[in-house]
């Protein structure tokens, strides 16, 4: 189900009421040209009324530039159930971004390209160390121009990460990846003048029921994804899922926002046609998934060395 449809009822039959007061009339004067602006940015007509309301509610807020673009605001609107909820999510996400110093995380872990997208490029010793242990990476865009992320169970040394208490350090990289996905999707949206979202592929090869033991260490990761990153992906495709994956999913799914949960599709070994249907060109997949990309970091388990963290700041957050 499309997340978008959750908001659609808000807009049905939503002709704007005539302003009664002078202040109302002034507001209407300001709002009238907006519909035209929404069209120019690629906001579908069924969201114009909600976008007007959202902007009205946010007009006294000091929104960051990246946050204020119509197609960024629309992203929050399409994954919430009401304008009020979208407003709350935007303000909470912005407060969280400032507190976690997301800009500084991005600078420490990556490089920004001229078009506004990011590239992983660790700048500190701890960033270098964490990158070598992080079991997810970006793949080239899908055929809709959306960013694609690949995660791989067998690459992650969850026991080692737990033993060395590395989840907070790796959380920086998780945020880098989410932000990278968001910015790449946004750049594509602005270019195409429509809301573009990405896709996530999770290769469940090598997964075992023991991961359930470690899930609680990752709840802050899931909370950030649920609360601070709106409508990043169209689809989350779990591939090579063993039959016991349903047990793992019955627990993990409870920790994921419903709007994300309903985008998840779980398939076994016969996954190529499913990925193709979701716009993922098989060529861009790593060799171990039948593609031709040879440079994947996820071709082996990224084993956490014992006691190798001396002198590294293992906490989450930008400097």
Binding residues for ligand NAG (CB under 6 A): 294-295, 299-300, 313, 315, 317-319
Residue 69 and residue 190 in contact, taking contact as beta carbons nearer than 8 Å:
yes
H/E stretch holding 119 reads strand 118-120
Residue 255 has which token pair? 């920790």
Of 262, 249, 82, 260, nearest to 178 (Cα)?
260
In the complex, the smallest distance separating the C-beta of residue 39 from ligand NAG, rounded to whole angstroms, is 43
Of 33 and 307, the one with the shorter C-beta distance to ligand NAG is 307
The CB-of-317 to ligand NAG minimum distance in angstroms stands at 4
Cβ nearer to ligand NAG, comparing 307 with 311: 311
Q: Closest distance between ligand NAG and the C-beta of residue 315, in Å? A: 4
Smaller CB separation from ligand NAG, 13 or 295: 295
CB 164, min distance to ligand NAG, A: 16
**Residue 238 host element (H or E):** strand 233-239
> For residues 101 and 261, which CB has a smaller minimum distance to ligand NAG in the complex?
101
Q: How far is the CB of 42 from ligand NAG (least distance, A)?
A: 37
* Nearest to ligand NAG of 205, 253 (CB atom): 205
The 3-state DSSP class for residue 232 equals: coil
From CA 161, how far away is CA 227, in angstroms rounded?
A: 24
How far is Cα 301 from Cα 156, in angstroms, rounded to an integer?
Answer: 6
Task: Between 76 and 109, name the residue whose CB sits nearer to ligand NAG.
Answer: 109
Smallest gap, in angstroms, from Cβ of residue 143 to ligand NAG? 25
For 51-114, what is the HEC assignment?
A: HHHHHHHHCCCCCCHHHHCHHHHHHHHCCCCCHHHHHHHHHHHHHHHHHHCHHHHHHHHEEECC
Q: How many CA atoms lie within 13 A of 292 on its CB side?
A: 3
């Amino acid at each position: 189900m499309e997340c978008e449809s959750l908001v659609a009822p808000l807009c049905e039959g939503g002709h704007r009421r005539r302003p009664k007061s002078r202040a109302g009339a002034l507001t209407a004067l300001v709002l009238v040209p907006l519909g035209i602006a929404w069209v120019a940015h690629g906001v579908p007509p069924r969201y114009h009324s909600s976008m007007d309301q959202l902007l009205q509610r946010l007009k006294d807020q000091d929104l960051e530039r990246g946050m204020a673009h119509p197609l960024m605001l629309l992203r929050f609107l399409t994954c919430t159930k009401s304008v009020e909820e979208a407003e709350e999510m935007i303000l909470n996400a912005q407060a969280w971004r400032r507190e976690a110093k997301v800009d500084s995380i991005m600078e420490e872990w990556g490089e920004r390209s001229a078009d506004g997208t990011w590239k992983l490029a660790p700048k500190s010793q701890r960033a270098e160390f964490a990158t070598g242990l992080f079991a997810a990476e970006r793949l080239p865009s899908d055929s809709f121009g959306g960013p694609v992320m690949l995660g791989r169970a067998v690459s992650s040394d969850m026991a080692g990460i737990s033993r060395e208490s590395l989840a907070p350090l790796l959380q920086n990289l998780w945020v880098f990846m989410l932000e990278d996905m968001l910015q790449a999707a946004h750049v594509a949206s602005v270019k195409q003048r429509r809301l573009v979202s990405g896709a996530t592929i999770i290769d469940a090869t090598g997964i075992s029921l023991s991961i359930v033991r470690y899930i609680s260490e990752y709840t802050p990761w899931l909370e950030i994804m649920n609360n601070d990153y709106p409508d990043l992906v169209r689809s989350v495709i779990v591939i090579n899922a063993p039959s016991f994956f349903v047990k793992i999913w019955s627990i993990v799914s409870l920790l994921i926002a419903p709007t994300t949960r309903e985008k998840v599709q779980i398939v076994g070994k016969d996954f190529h046609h499913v990925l193709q249907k979701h716009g993922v060109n098989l060529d861009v997949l790593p060799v171990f998934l039948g593609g031709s990309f040879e440079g994947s970091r996820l071709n082996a388990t990224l084993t956490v060395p014992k006691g190798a963290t001396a002198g590294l700041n293992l906490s989450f957050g930008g400097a």
